[in-house]
C-alpha cells in the first residue's frame, strides 16, 4: 500500500482572518465554524454555530459538504467532516482540506487523519508551547496511507457503523441512568413517607 503526502491528495486552505473577536449576530447571513465547535460531542449542528454578516471576500472560504477541517492551533488535532448545507466560513484557526483528484474519498481522508500515526505526526510538527501552531507546510507533508477506493469505502462504512453503535450505547447508558435515578427517588420518597408516618404514630 502506498503512502502519499497530504498535499498530493487535497488542497489546504487557511480559514477566514476575521478582524477582532467573532460576535454572534442573529441577523447574520453566514455561520462561522470555530475550534470550540469541533470539541463538542456529536455531529455539527448549524444552530450551535455563531452567525455573522458575510464579510467581504468570504466566498473562497465557504465550506462545502465533504470538506475536512483541522485545527491549526491548540493541543487537539482531531479532523472533522463538514456536512452542513448552510453557508459557513471557517475561522483562521482552522485549515480546510478538500480532496483533489480521484485517489481518495473525503470521508476516508478525515478518518485517516484521526488515526494515531497522523495524529502523532501533527503533534510532532506543531510549534510553540501555550498554543502550538501546525503550519500549512507541515500539515501538507504528512503522509497518508492510500488503499484502493473499494477498501477506503469499506473502512468508511465500518467507521460509520461503529459511530452508530457508539451513539446507541451512549443512549442506552443514559436511559439506564435515568431509570436508576428514578428508582433511587422512589426509595427515598418511600423512606420519607414511612418516617413521617412513624412520627405521626408516635404522637
Rounded-to-integer distance, Cα 154 and Cα 144, Å: 17
Find where cell 465550506 sits.
Answer: 63
Among 146, 173, 193, give the residue marking a domain's end: 146
Query: What secondary structure does DSSP assign to 112-154, as a single string?
Result: HHTSHHHHHHHHHH-B-SSS-B--HHHHHH-EEEE--HHHHHH
The CATH number assigned to the domain holding 22 equals 3.90.220.20
Strands (E), the chain: 2-5, 10-14, 30-33, 50-52, 68-71, 80-81, 88-90, 94-99, 143-146
Same domain assignment for residues 77 and 171: no
Instruction: Enumerate residue ranges in the chain where pLDDT < 50.
Output: 41
Same domain assignment for residues 41 and 115: yes
Q: Cα 183 to the chain's mean position, in Å?
A: 35
Query: 155: left (phi > 0), else alpha (psi -120 to 50), else beta?
Result: alpha
Copy the grid coordinates of residue 180.
436508576
Task: Give strand pairing partners of 33.
Answer: 90
Q: What is the pLDDT of residues 125-155, one digit of tens each?
A: 888 777 788 999 999 999 999 999 999 999 9
Among 146, 161, 179, give the residue marking a domain's end: 146
Same domain assignment for residues 164 and 190: yes
Same domain assignment for residues 84 and 20: yes
Angle between helix 106-113 and helix 116-125 axes, rounded to 10 deg:
70
Same domain assignment for residues 137 and 183: no
Same domain assignment for residues 53 and 79: yes
Same domain assignment for residues 129 and 175: no
Domain ranges, residue 125: 2-146
- Read off the pTM: 0.79
| pLDDT score at 24 | 86
Amino acid at each position: 500500500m502506498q503512502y502519499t503526502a497530504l498535499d498530493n491528495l487535497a488542497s489546504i486552505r487557511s480559514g477566514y482572518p476575521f478582524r477582532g473577536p467573532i460576535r454572534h449576530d442573529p441577523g447574520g447571513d453566514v455561520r462561522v465554524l470555530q475550534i470550540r465547535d469541533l470539541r463538542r460531542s456529536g455531529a455539527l449542528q448549524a444552530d450551535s454555530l455563531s452567525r455573522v454578516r458575510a464579510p467581504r471576500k468570504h466566498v473562497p472560504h465557504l465550506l462545502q459538504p465533504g470538506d475536512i477541517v483541522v485545527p491549526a492551533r491548540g493541543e487537539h488535532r482531531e479532523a472533522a467532516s463538514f456536512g452542513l448545507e448552510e453557508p459557513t466560513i471557517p475561522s483562521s484557526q482552522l485549515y480546510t482540506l478538500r480532496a483533489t483528484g480521484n485517489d481518495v474519498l473525503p470521508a476516508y481522508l478525515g478518518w485517516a487523519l484521526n488515526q494515531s500515526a497522523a495524529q502523532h505526526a501533527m503533534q510532532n510538527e506543531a510549534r510553540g508551547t501555550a498554543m502550538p501552531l501546525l503550519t500549512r507546510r507541515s500539515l501538507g507533508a504528512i503522509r497518508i496511507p492510500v488503499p484502493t477506493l473499494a477498501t477506503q469505502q469499506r473502512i468508511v462504512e465500518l467507521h460509520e457503523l461503529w459511530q452508530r453503535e457508539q451513539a446507541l450505547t451512549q443512549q442506552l447508558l443514559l436511559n439506564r441512568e435515568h431509570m436508576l435515578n428514578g428508582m433511587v427517588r422512589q426509595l427515598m420518597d418511600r423512606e420519607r413517607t414511612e418516617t413521617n408516618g412513624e412520627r405521626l404514630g408516635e404522637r
